[in-house]
Chains A and B, each alone.
Chain A
Amino acid sequence: MRVTRGMMRRRVVLLLFCLLGAIGGLIGRLAYIQVLQAPWLQGRAHRLWSRQIPLQPVRGSILDAEGHVLVYTATAPSVIVIPAQVKDKEKTARQLADVLRMPYDKVLALVRKRTLMVYVSPGGRRIRDEQLAAIRRLNLPGVYITEEGKRAYPYGALAAQVLGVTGADNQGLTGVEKQYDRQLRGQPGSITFFANAKGERMPGVGEDYVPPVDGEDVELTINAAIQQFVEREIERAVAVYHPDHVTAIVEDPQTGAILAMANYPSFNPADWQAYPQETYNRNLAIWQTFEPGSTFKVITLSAALQEGKVNLNDRFYDPGYYEVAGRRIRCWKAGGHGSQSFLNVVENSCNPGFIALGERLGKTALFQYIKAFGFGQKTGIDLPGEGNGILFPLNRVGPLELATTSFGQGVSVTPIQQVMAIGAVANGGLLMKPHVVQAFLDHDTGRVVGRVQPTVVRRVISEQTAAEVRSALESVVAQGSGGNAYLDGYRVAGKTGTAQVAKNGRYEPNHYIVSFIGMAPADHPRLVAYVAVDHPRPKDNVVFGGTIAAPIVGNILRDSLTYLGVPKRAGGIPKKVRWGDVVMVQVPDFVGMTIGDAQRTAIESGAQLRTQVLGTGKYVVAQSPQSGTKVPAGSVIRLYLGNTPVVDNGVRKQ
């Protein structure tokens, strides 16, 4: 090809079009970036420029049913660091670690963190006054003090396990604090501003202020006064009986509202980290499951009455045992209660009588009622960590299981399940859902913004049956095993329970959970109260629901009913046992028994005989008064000990 002016010119034009095409391509690329991709790029760029300073809301208070403040948030100083402003990281970290008693490495890592601001956690959160003074004295650049919310408890440890605790970031960890964390927490606010690449504020760009929204106040159904009565009674019981655990619940049967709930051991929520985890993390009243013992007989009784399987005036003969599937199940009373009405069966808490009721119902009907009363499933109380309890699966219930279930053995239930079940009897047969919170209030104005309505779970028995059961239970208190809960004029109805505790499939000797569940007034119950004492160790050796738990419930009911201004009633069943009209019982034959057997027999006699031990040795060689003598219930029997077992006629036992 010859090089000519024409060819050069053509090539120049060709070059021009190529280059113009390339420039056109760049304009297209620009349009793609600046128009199509722009929203996405802008979002990322905003995140790059904006710096957010969080503003913490004030956590809501927790009030009792009458508006007393049980928990509120007080502010406390905390240490924050702005790493960009700390020049000498090592020195700052060392001095902070010293004052805040934190590991040096951990503080150094925080101080070196590439963030806008960092809390010196955990040592620098909510520090004490002397630490605050020390930090101020150090005057370290980039180290600041900010006010942070700290939970304060005007009533001290009151209702600690219901209230629960909060963690370092003000988040609810247990109890109501956890359950209603969403309402209590509130909405954090923020100040957002644009910064340059060094973190300094960009001029000429406004800042965005979102105020924090304080959390709502939560009003409990817990009544501080009643809670105090309950905790006082628990303290007394602990001082006298040195038990492992105590649990108490007071409920309003008409609404399912829990008025008091307490356990021993408890803890101080302001210093909860100092307690073992199982103390602050478990609320025994809703978590612990155990054999209820005789209190469960109320369920068998209610079912039998509702199904028309029994008339309380029918007679029943208790020979001291009941034969089921070829095995003899003994009554707790040696020798039995003899001939009695079914009302007496209830009053005496006679096991064979209840086995008979269970047989008349059959397993399907009995278990249907047990489930209808709410056992075997969570009650749905508004607290975290509730237990289920355990029932026999129906296909594995034989005659023996039916028999033991009907008097409260072989089932496992929680305290709150028992309270709600008996509450259904108190509430004319309607099972309620329990709750500890009744309202939510605006933190600033106190205006009610939400209310918890009472929830009926189901009707379990008819109103008439419920009244009949209450009347029988009133009779238990007035004339039977629950006498120690009797309050003149308040018509207390209730049932005792004494359950032996099984461990690894065997009943532990001398480990009982004694309980009492009561309600008052029996004609129109205002309160249901429950107390369970786990492993009491009384001085006089008698471990029985009627002697230990019943008086506690009596005291709680008396003080609470008085506090609530419930008028005394007329027309109750008068207390049968009066001074000079004592129950006479026959003294059993202890001679030849080991001392342990003798004491157990004395307890199981049902006459609440106390024993006094004289001499040393393993065996009872003589007793006073002699066997067969009639003595008032609760009398002291002297047991003389020796090392050789003897029988009455002086012949050695082999």
Chain B
Amino acid sequence: MYAKVRQSPDWVILWATLVLLSIGVVMVHSASSVLSQQKFGDAFYYAKRQVLWAALGVGLMWWMSRVDYHRLRAWAPYLAGASFLLLTVVLVPGVGVNRNGSQAWLGVGPFGIQPSEFAKLALVVFLAHYLADAGERVQSLTRGFLPPLMMALTAVGLIMLEPDLGQSVVIVGATVILLFAAGARVGHLLGLAGTGAVAFAVLVAMAPYRMARITSFLNPWQDPLGSGYQVIQSLYALGSGGLLGLGLGHSRQKYLYLPEPQTDFVYAILGEELGFLGAAAVLTLFAVLVWRGFRTAALAPDEFGTLLAAGITGILAVQVLVNVGVVTGSIPATGVTLPFLSYGGSSLTLMLTGVGILLNISRQARGVG
């Protein structure tokens, strides 16, 4: 169909990813050493596993960068079907594993996989495939706009049964980005936002405590030992770091003050040890990735490539914004991992897989301009 222009991948994406990955492995070790020594008698418990996952993820990335992304169009319906199946199975009591109050894992012990992480990427592939075919139909409410939205909301509904608010937010964000990039009417998107706002208002009217919970992030010191605890501990970490940081390995908040410091709050420990300069540098690397990701989308040889690259980059961008937003107390607490830095096998391998796809699209880019 298309002339395969074999050229080098976007090296900036590759290097930025590898640098972030390396920082991630180091920070997971630093942040988790106290906790894992306490829990498992092994300071390297999480670090060793993270290295294994990173190696697996880099392998998947290399592989995907060499598989023509157009072949994903054929896989797309199966990927979507598989993710709905997994999202349903994980809810079955006794099959799914409940950790921290969320029935989100399949498999045994620490090597469980998270169906929602898989569904996120699979959904982006399927929606890119669907919208690339839809063309002008995307501007029709019933035949182009609502079907992909309904599919995404069905997945969100299943995920909210676990429940996992963070993954739901990311999926909604990525879907909106895809719909916008595909050319959906701005009026439809505003209508979606309005409907969301009304639904939210109804939910709040039904139970006012929800509003209190959401606004509590504005002043976490109202309840420093309860809902505000994590955010306050996170801010203590960032504040202690100051401009230059306490130095790698010298975090104090990792001494059991900040719960689960290797996952959702690894960025707080990074800010404490490496200071504002280190934390801002990491955000800058993510900004570079977002830039190169959308550049890849703009230069992709076809609509599917554009939408796929925009969707994958959208997942990455939304996760960075939500995670750092929570860690800095800028938005209400939502559990989302920071790509490449947080501990977690599913998150890491699937994100690297996504980067692999991105690299393949960049290899087929049309000439710059």
A residues with CB within 8 A of B: 1-3, 5, 7-9, 11-13, 15-16, 19-20, 22-24, 26-27, 29-31, 33-35, 37-38, 40-42, 44-45, 48-49, 194-198, 202, 204-205
Contact = CB atoms under 8 A, between A and B. Distances in A.
B336 interface: no
Contacts of B238: 30, 33-34, 41
Contacts of B185: 1
B239 A12 contact: no
Contacts of A205: 252
B291 interface: yes
Interface in B238-295: 238-243, 250, 252-253, 255-257, 271, 275-276, 279-280, 283-284, 286-287, 290-291, 294-295
Interface string B228-241: 00000001101111
B189 to A, nearest CB: 11
A301 B157 CA distance: 106
Interface of B: 34, 135-136, 138-139, 177, 180-183, 185, 235-236, 238-243, 250, 252-253, 255-257, 271, 275-276, 279-280, 283-284, 286-287, 290-291, 294-295, 297-298, 303, 306-307, 310, 314, 317, 320-321, 324-325, 328-330
A2 B135 CA distance: 9
B231 to A, nearest CB: 11
B183 A8 contact: yes
A15 B271 contact: no
B283 A33 contact: no
B280 A37 contact: no
A49 B252 contact: yes
Given A35-B243, A38-B243, 5 more contacts: A8-B303, A33-B238, A34-B238, A45-B236, A205-B252
A8 B182 contact: yes
A15 B294 contact: yes
Nearest to A22: B321
Contacts of A198: 256
Nearest to A9: B298
Contact of A2 (B136, B271, B276, B295): B136
Main secondary structure, interface of B, reads: helix
Contacts of A37: 235, 239
Contact of B139 (A3, A34, A38, A42): A3
A15 B177 contact: yes
B321 A8 contact: no
| Interchain residue pairs A-B with the least CB separation, the first 9 | A41-B239, A196-B255, A3-B183, A197-B256, A34-B276, A16-B294, A45-B236, A19-B317, A38-B242
B239 A8 contact: no
In this complex, which of A8, A20, A41, A44 has the most chain B Cβ atoms within 10 angstroms of its Cβ?
A8
Given A12-B294, A34-B241, A41-B240, A19 B321 contact: yes
Given A20-B291, A27-B280, A35-B276, A41 B180 contact: no
Contacts of A202: 252, 255
A40 B235 CA distance: 11
A48 B252 CA distance: 10
17 contacts: A3-B139, A3-B182, A8-B183, A8-B303, A11-B181, A12-B294, A27-B280, A30-B280, A33-B238, A33-B328, A34-B238, A34-B242, A41-B235, A42-B239, A48-B236, A194-B252, A197-B256
Contacts of A30: 238, 271, 276, 279-280, 283, 324, 328
Contact of B138 (A3, A42, A197): A3
A2 B182 CA distance: 11
Contacts of A196: 34, 255-257
A180 B97 CA distance: 68
A575 B179 CA distance: 125
B81 to A, nearest CB: 27
Contacts of A13: 294, 298
A3 B325 contact: no
Given A13-B298, A196-B256, A34 B239 contact: yes
Contact of B236 (A3, A22, A44, A204): A44
B236 A41 contact: yes
A5 B306 CA distance: 9
A13 B181 CA distance: 9
Contacts of B306: 5, 8-9, 12
Contacts of A8: 181-183, 303, 306-307
B326 to A, nearest CB: 11
A19 B183 contact: no
Nearest to B258: A197
B321 A31 contact: no
A196 B138 CA distance: 56
A395 B276 CA distance: 79
Nearest to B271: A34
Contact of A23 (B34, B180, B321): B321
B340 to A, nearest CB: 15
Contacts of A29: 328, 330
A1 B280 contact: no
A228 B236 CA distance: 64
A38 B183 contact: no
A25 to B, nearest CB: 8
- Scoring A8, A33, A34, A205 by chain B CB atoms within 10 A of each residue's CB, the highest score goes to A34
A20 B287 contact: yes
Contact of B180 (A5, A15, A20, A45): A15
A34 B3 CA distance: 51
A24 B317 CA distance: 12
A7 B177 CA distance: 14
A238 B236 CA distance: 70
Contacts of B290: 16, 19-20, 23
Contacts of A40: 239
A37 B307 CA distance: 41
Nearest to B34: A196
Contact of A1 (B139, B239, B328): B139
Nearest to B237: A45
Contacts of B138: 3
Nearest to A49: B252
A13 to B, nearest CB: 7
Given A13-B298, A23-B287, A31 B280 contact: yes
A13 B296 CA distance: 11
Contacts of A24: 287
A12 B297 contact: yes
Contact of A7 (B183, B256, B297): B183
Contacts of A48: 236, 257
Contact of B181 (A15, A27, A38, A204): A15
Given A30-B279, A33-B328, A15 B310 contact: yes
A304 to B, nearest CB: 75
A29 B326 CA distance: 11
Contacts of B324: 26, 30
A205 B246 CA distance: 12
Contacts of A9: 298, 306
Nearest to B256: A197
A360 to B, nearest CB: 78
Nearest to A19: B317
Most buried by B among A1, A20, A26, A41: A26
B276 A31 contact: yes
Given A15-B310, A197-B257, A26 B283 contact: yes
A35 B180 CA distance: 37
B239 A33 contact: yes
A23 B317 CA distance: 9
A196 B276 CA distance: 24
A44 B233 CA distance: 10
A20 B290 CA distance: 8
Contacts of A204: 250
Contacts of B135: 3
Contacts of A2: 136
Contacts of B314: 15
Nearest to B186: A1
A16 B298 CA distance: 10
A24 B276 CA distance: 13
A7 B139 CA distance: 13
